[in-house]
A and B are shown apart, each in its own frame.
Chain A
Amino acid sequence: MSDDRQDVTTFLDALRAAESAGADVLNAWVAVCTLDELRGGLRAIAEREAVHAELIAGRLRDLGASCSATVNELLRVGAVTRFGSSTLSDEEKLALVLARYPDDAAVTRPIDRMMDALDGDPETRELLRLVAEGEVATIAWFRAYQRALGRRIPLPG
């Protein structure tokens, strides 16, 4: 496998692992979410993350690469525990998610960079283009929901 191809599959595998872990975290949140509207959005967004992970796994298989990357287990379990906790409020969880993405471009910057390097693989490029749009839609929904709540919650210390 060429170095370029290796870079692409390494990136895809890491993205797949992150999307899968994201779905786990969101599903943990759904299980304890007390706000009906937020829960409805979270269900759709968790499913979106899981679909992205499955699509990228499928593409990796097409490319003859394995799915072996994992998110650091301590980080994954920590996030699942935090977002699956009833101690932290939904508003605080929302603020934690949005604090990771100060602007919309921050969500897709790594994917956009990889797409620029994928001229020789238009199938993967178009797949990533739609995955990136899904990520933008997710953050836009979280922002809109937070605005609708009408108040901002300071991040926990």
Chain B
Amino acid sequence: MSAEAAELISLLDALQAAERAGADALERWVASCRDPRLRGGLRVICARDRSHAALAEARLRALGGVPTATANGELLAVCGIVGDPQVSDRTKLTVLLTRLAGGVEGTIAVVARTSRDDAETHALLIAIGEDDRASLRWLRDINDTLDGR
């Protein structure tokens, strides 16, 4: 396996772990969320994240890898807040928006850059990145709506 392929597999592994951890946290948030507008969108974002984890895992397996990564401590801390039923929806939104502004988008951008020589992986990640940008836009919009803006 080339160094480039090994690096790509490692990044896909980190991505599948992050997307799965995010989906698990959002699932816990949906279960305790009392605002129907928020709940409706969170369900979609949660399902997207889970499907992204599955797509990244399938791709890394197709490249000869095996998923072993777990989400890093910083992400797990965010997930702990997002999944905590004692934390308010507004606080969770703020935490998530702060994280997404430089977090998941950045991760996908790094993987997409690394996969330039692998057109299939590259296109897959571009599409995943588009989903995540749409999720971020919706979260910003609903945050503004809840603020009465």
Contact = CB atoms under 8 A, between A and B. Distances in A.
Candidate in B48, B54, B58, B122 with the most chain A CB atoms within 10 angstroms: B48
A123 interface: yes
Contacts of A129: 40-41, 138
Interface string A39-70: 11101110110110011001100000000000
Nearest to B142: A126
B46 to A, nearest CB: 9
Nearest to A136: B134
Contacts, number: 99
A137 B36 contact: no
A50 B55 CA distance: 12
B127 interface: yes
A4 to B, nearest CB: 17
Interface residues of A, number: 33
B123 A137 contact: no
How big is chain B's contact interface, by range?
20 to 34
A55 B23 CA distance: 14
Nearest to B36: A123
Nearest to B38: A126
Contact of A127 (B43, B58, B121, B126): B43
A157 interface: no
A126 B43 CA distance: 10
B127 A44 contact: yes
A47 B138 contact: no
B40 A44 contact: no
Given A45-B127, A123-B37, A124-B40, A133 B120 contact: no
A51 B51 contact: yes
20 contacts: A36-B119, A37-B123, A40-B121, A40-B124, A40-B125, A44-B123, A47-B51, A47-B55, A55-B43, A55-B44, A55-B47, A123-B36, A123-B37, A123-B39, A129-B41, A130-B44, A130-B138, A137-B127, A137-B134, A141-B127
Nearest 6 pairs between A and B by C-beta? Answer: A40-B123, A126-B40, A44-B127, A40-B120, A123-B40, A123-B36
